[in-house]
A and B are shown apart, each in its own frame.
Chain A
Amino acid sequence: QVQLQESGPGLVKPSETLSLSCTVSSGSISDFYWSWIRQPPGKRLEWIGDIHYTGTTKYSPSLNSRAAISLDTSRNQVSLRLDSVTAADAAVYFCARSPVTTYSKNGRDHIWPGAFDSWGQGSLVTVFS
């Protein structure tokens, strides 16, 4: 069974860059989508963005282009970089996996992320100076 484990510094200063990694074990990065999702204390889950194993990325507009997600297939890792952090970025950060699903539109098949079927335990990030 696949396991996901987030890692990274738990403390980040305002205006600095947050960098997190997610190591995937007992499974391959290939043939899936990989997302970063965060949960501020007492708030709902917020999707940050995802990356298809081919490298295509999509992000939530709410991050104002501050987020970047990448893959390192040699290390079986998915990484998140978040620039110019503020107190509002304090949260537990999860990586999560989605299967690749397909749908048809205008006679052509397209791929699309399924639901998040595996999650890491989460990495708590605190922002303070």
Chain B
Amino acid sequence: IVLTQSPDSLAVSLGERATVNCKSNQSLLYSSNNKNYLAWYRQRPGQPPKLLFYWASTRESGVPDRFSGGGSGTDFTLSISSLQVEDVAVYYCQQNYERPFTFGPGTRLEIK
């Protein structure tokens, strides 16, 4: 499964909204449980990725509610409602619908 992300990079003003898109070349929705096998991660420089969302829209414990995840099937979004300095990072989507598990190429989020 190939994941693509858009944009490659994004510059947003502090307090403004940022949206990252992830598209899969096949559906990540498993019909028997109605779950999308798509996760989002944030990776700050020199650090490992940190899980933000799983099942496309379930927020990991401790993740601020300014972050939201959505979408279904082949198209997904990660949004930050009000950008903070600590949100500067690369954001990756990842599918665990089938092995080999794959990641998107990443979207670099910067402050304008």
Contact B48–A120 (Cβ < 8 Å): yes
Summed over the interface, the residue pairs from A and B with CB atoms below 8 Å come to a total of 57
Query: Known: A103-B32, A116-B94. Is A45-B49 also a contact (CB below 8 A)?
Result: yes
Interface residues of B in 4-25 (CB under 8 A from A): none
Q: How far is the CB of A47 from chain B (nearest CB, A)?
A: 4
Bound form: Cα–Cα A36–B54 in Å: 19
- Counting contact residues on chain A (CB < 8 A from B), the size range is 20 to 34
- Which among B33, B50, B60, B96 is the interface contact of A113 at CB below 8 angstroms? B96
Contact B96–A115 (Cβ < 8 Å): yes
- Which residues on B sit within 8 Å (CB–CB) of A119? 48-50
- Which among A47, A96, A98, A116 is the interface contact of B100 at CB below 8 angstroms? A47
Contact B92–A44 (Cβ < 8 Å): yes
Bound form: Cα–Cα A1–B76 in Å: 30
- Which residues on A sit within 8 Å (CB–CB) of B103? 44-47
- Which residues on B sit within 8 Å (CB–CB) of A114? 54, 96
Interface residues of A in 45-66 (CB under 8 A from B): 45-47, 58, 60-62
Query: Known: A104-B33, A114-B54. Is A121-B99 also a contact (CB below 8 A)?
Result: no
Query: Known: A115-B94, A119-B49. Is A62-B105 also a contact (CB below 8 A)?
Result: no
Interface residue total, chain B, C-beta cutoff 8 A? 24
- Which residues on B sit within 8 Å (CB–CB) of A47? 99-103
Bound form: Cα–Cα A112–B33 in Å: 13
Q: How far is the CB of A60 from chain B (nearest CB, A)?
A: 4
Bound form: Cα–Cα A116–B33 in Å: 20
Q: How far is the CB of B54 from chain A (nearest CB, A)?
A: 4
- Which residues on B sit within 8 Å (CB–CB) of A120? 48
- Which residues on A sit within 8 Å (CB–CB) of B50? 119
- Which residues on B sit within 8 Å (CB–CB) of A58? 99
User: Is B109's beta carbon under 8 Å from chain A?
Assistant: no
- Which residues on B sit within 8 Å (CB–CB) of A117? 51, 54, 60
Q: How far is the CB of B87 from chain A (nearest CB, A)?
A: 19
**Leading 8 A-B pairs by shortest Cβ distance:** A115-B39, A119-B48, A115-B54, A60-B100, A45-B103, A47-B101, A44-B105, A117-B51
Q: Which residues of A are interface residues toward B (Cβ below 8 A)?
A: 35, 44-47, 58, 60-62, 94, 96, 98, 103-105, 112-117, 119-122
